[in-house]
Amino acid sequence: MKGFWNRLSITRKTFLIFALVFIAFFTIWMSGHFFFFGSYYENITSKALRNSVKELADEYVTLESGEKINEAIVRYANDGEAYYSVLSENGDILFMVSYELVIKPSDGGENMRFSLDNAIHDESFIKTKFEEDSQITVTYAAFDDDSAKANIYFPDSIEYNGNVWKNNFGRPGIRPQDNGVKEQKTPKRLSVTGKIVSVTLPNQPSSRFSVQRNEAAAVLMNFRDRLLSGFSPKNGLNEEYIYNEFSNDNEYCVAVRKITKNGNAEYICGVLPMKNIFEAIAATRGFTIILFLLMLVLMCIVAWIFSHAITKPVIEINNVTEKMKKLDFSKKCTVDSSDELGRLAENVNEMSDKLDQTIGELVEANKKLKKDIERERKLEEQRKDFVAAASHELKTPLAIIRAYSEGIIDGVFKNKQEHYLKVIIEEIEKMDKLVVDMIENSRLEASTMKPELKEHDLCAFVNKIAQRFVSPCKAENIKIEIDIPKKQIIKCFDSTLIEQVLTNFITNAMKNTHGGVIGVGVNDSCVWVENDGAHIPEDELDKIWDRFYKLDKARNRSAGGTGLGLSIAKNILLLHGADYKAENTPNGVRFSFSLK
């Protein structure tokens, strides 16, 4: 089980957790509804009935007139579905829910009360909106009995707002306070017109109310019979008593409270049919099953959406970290929330940026280190080459000087002593020039020399130097072509150093041209010197600027030069921040530089 759980993705884990929580919650709720809700609802219903009976009893002891008592009983009945009555200690019914019409006769007589116990069976009559102080006409039968003396009459017809209701149900019978009074055979038919003082009617459909009223009356009669038969509950009905009565396939909750009024013991009774409550509970149980299935489907959908909403940022953060593990910092978290996941996403993005920056710096540092190592390697190779070249350049003249000096000392060159002394002096001058060039090149490479920068007309300056080489070129059977525009191009440079560069370029061109043409020119972009002759191999073009570098690998002395001229020219141009290059042309080689 643990292995299965560990293999699940975080989305499925979250979904299962939420699903199990929802299922557990609804299972507990369903269990409570099926096993405890009925008892709970029945208990609070009986408690509510007991409280209503107590409140009615407290109000009843303060009322004196039967009209007020009836209004109170009807009000409590209309506020709920219970049926209320008042019994004497002997079980006689003193008051029941009685619906009445009270009018004030237009001739100024006393108020007249009319029983509506038959009228409430008519659905249309219950729905009639009777307004106080409105005109009404009642036709009734007057009997010379207690009911007439009590000023309570039974209407035959009621005319109100142009509508006439007729009693088709017959006289309802003797009222509770009329026990023992027989109905007269020849009643008087009378009519009265007046204003409505009050009307009490049920607030529920007449058919349902009739069944409830009749069944409740039967339950009260059973309770009265139990009292007359000597029934006495454990608490003696001193305070209150509640029990269940079964009748007509219905269960009734009966609440009874014993009171004392005018020195007499009386019972306030409330009867509540439980069938409607049980039907409602059964209906809610059926609906609860349907609701449970619907909620189960909805719960799965919500859990799936919720799990994705929770885990989506986590999955996105995980994808970003997977990229980071492969040193790919291009992907960023797009979580917009401000909770812990949002802050985590911000931290991951910030860490990604810093790692990207740090690794970039390390890469650059590594590249720089490689370049430095490569430069050091090249410098070491150049040092070795320099030592070898310098040794070679110095070894030959020293050997000549030593040989000629020993020959003079030994008297071998008596007849040509002057000639060999001149050779010695020439070799010493070559060595001196080599040492001077080496010192100058070292100063230039170390950047200890500061050029004296001044403004000059570049065209006039180059033309002046080129004219110096016209005669030497002619003597070597070399044609020099000078291509300089007749205008001023003002540049800032050290004239002595740039003259050395131009002289070197032209001298090299003369050495590598045999009966050909040398070109010297200036344009807006550069100064150039070009000669006819052999091309320089492409892979050697960048190396000709190195110290002691010669295309002649044998370093033949007949070629002349120390191998430092182009290196000195390069360092001079670098001091001026100038661009320079050597390139092959169709006819030969071209050297050029451009001043800033």
Q: How far apart are CA 263 and CA 27, in angstroms?
A: 57
How many CA atoms does the CB half-sphere of 341 hold within 13 Å? 15
Q: How far apart are CA 205 and CA 221, in angstroms?
A: 24
DSSP conformational letter for 118: T
Q: How many residues does the chain have?
A: 596
CB 209 within 8 A of CB 120: yes
CB proximity list for 78: less than 8 A, separation 6 or greater:
202, 203
The encoded tokens of residue 356 equal 């990207």
What distances in angstroms separate CA 277 from CA 44, 140, 240, 289, 437, one per listed residue? 12, 40, 23, 18, 121
Select from 297, 290, 280, 296 the least CA-distant residue to 27. 296
What distances in angstroms separate CA 382 from CA 317, 374, 387, 390, 545, one per listed residue? 53, 12, 8, 11, 12
The encoded tokens of residue 385 equal 């080459």
**Predicted local distance difference test score (pLDDT) of residue 452:** 84
Q: At 456, which helix (H) or strand (E)?
A: strand 454-457
Q: How far apart are CA 401 and CA 389, in angstroms?
A: 19
What distances in angstroms separate CA 428 from CA 307, 394, 439, 467, 556, one per listed residue? 94, 10, 16, 31, 18
What distances in angstroms separate CA 213 from CA 53, 199, 210, 433, one per listed residue? 17, 19, 5, 142
The encoded tokens of residue 6 equal 């560990």
Select from 159, 177, 61 the least CA-distant residue to 101. 159
The one-digit pLDDT tens for each residue of the chain (596 residues) are 556 666 666 667 777 777 777 778 777 777 776 777 767 777 888 888 888 888 998 898 888 877 788 888 888 887 777 888 888 877 777 887 777 888 889 888 888 888 887 777 777 777 788 888 899 999 988 765 544 434 578 888 899 888 888 887 665 443 334 444 444 456 678 889 999 988 887 765 544 455 556 666 677 777 777 766 665 554 445 444 555 555 556 677 788 888 888 888 888 888 887 776 666 677 776 777 787 778 778 777 877 777 667 677 777 777 778 887 777 777 777 766 767 777 777 788 888 888 888 888 888 888 889 888 888 887 777 667 666 666 766 776 777 777 778 777 777 666 677 777 887 787 787 777 767 766 666 666 656 667 888 999 999 999 998 998 888 888 889 899 999 998 899 999 988 888 888 988 998 888 888 888 999 999 888 999 999 888 888 888 888 887 666 655 544 544 455 667 788 888 888 888 889 999 999 889 999 999 88
**Terminal-residue alpha carbon distance, the chain:** 79
pTM of the model: 0.42
Q: At 512, which helix (H) or strand (E)?
A: none
Number of DSSP helices (H) and strands (E) in the chain, helices first? 14, 18
At residue 256, φ and ψ (nearest 5 deg) are: -125, 135
> Which residue is listed with tokens 């975080």?
10
**Predicted local distance difference test score (pLDDT) of residue 182:** 46
Over its C-alpha atoms, the chain yields an Rg (Å, rounded) of 65
Q: How far apart are CA 440 and CA 427, in angstroms?
A: 20
**Residue 59: CB atoms within 10 Å:** 16
The encoded tokens of residue 524 equal 């807006």
Q: How far apart are CA 118 and CA 127, in angstroms?
A: 15
* Strand partners of residue 142: 188
**Predicted local distance difference test score (pLDDT) of residue 184:** 44
